[in-house]
Amino acid sequence: MDSKDKAILALLQDDARRTTAEIADAVGLSFSPCARRIKKLEADGVIASYQVTLDRQRIGLNMTFFVNVSLSNHREEAIVTFEHALVDMDEVINGHVISGTYDYLLEVVTRDLPHYEAFMRQLQTLAMVKDINTNVAIRAVKQGAALKV
């Protein structure tokens, strides 16, 4: 990956709706070589996907929670079952396996506290869940930042 590829990636992270012509002009390439580079970055998996970032509050998702979860056992079956359950929970927008006191860190968004309580009840029904600790986000200071390339 050279400096032109990095410049292309920076522009796409800033605004993925830019046309190939706009990107080509900005990085000093003609249209066809720029298009080939973008296709190669996609084919190589460097560009994983294109997404739209929604304003959570404007769509009614007013609350963000960071939820630490520890499991009662770490057998493969319990881990797979738990992780499949997380994938199916719409409220969980990010989930990470972590080291330390807890096993998972989840980012959860809901409309309000009653909806969070319903989510928690669903999470607590999973037999392998041992402990849950929740932090409520007051406001985002930094969110969705571009990756440095």
Q: What is the pLDDT of residues 30-69, one digit of tens each?
A: 999 999 999 999 999 999 999 888 999 999 999 999 999 9
pLDDT number for residue 55: 92
Contact 104, 97 (CB under 8 A): yes
User: Considering the domain 57-136 in this protein, what is its CATH number?
Assistant: 3.30.70.920
Q: What is the pLDDT at residue 135?
A: 98
Please tell me the pTM assigned to this model: 0.87
Please give the pLDDT value at position 43: 97
Q: Can you give the pLDDT at residue 144?
A: 85
Of the candidates 126, 67, 129, 72, which has an alpha carbon nearest to the alpha carbon of residue 98? Answer: 67
With beta carbons less than 8 A apart as the criterion, state whether 98 and 133 touch: no
Would you kindly state where each structural domain of the chain is located, as residue ranges? 3-43, 57-136
- Tokens 């706009």 correspond to 22
Give residue 146's pLDDT.
87
The mean pLDDT value for 67-88 works out to 97
Q: What's the number of CA atoms in the CB half-sphere (13 Å) around residue 50?
A: 12
CATH topology of domain 3-43: Arc Repressor Mutant, subunit A (1.10.10)
Instruction: Mention every residue, 6+ apart, whose C-beta is less than 8 A from residue 20.
Output: 31, 34, 35, 38
Alpha carbon dihedral 134, 138, 139, 143, in 10-degree steps, equals -10
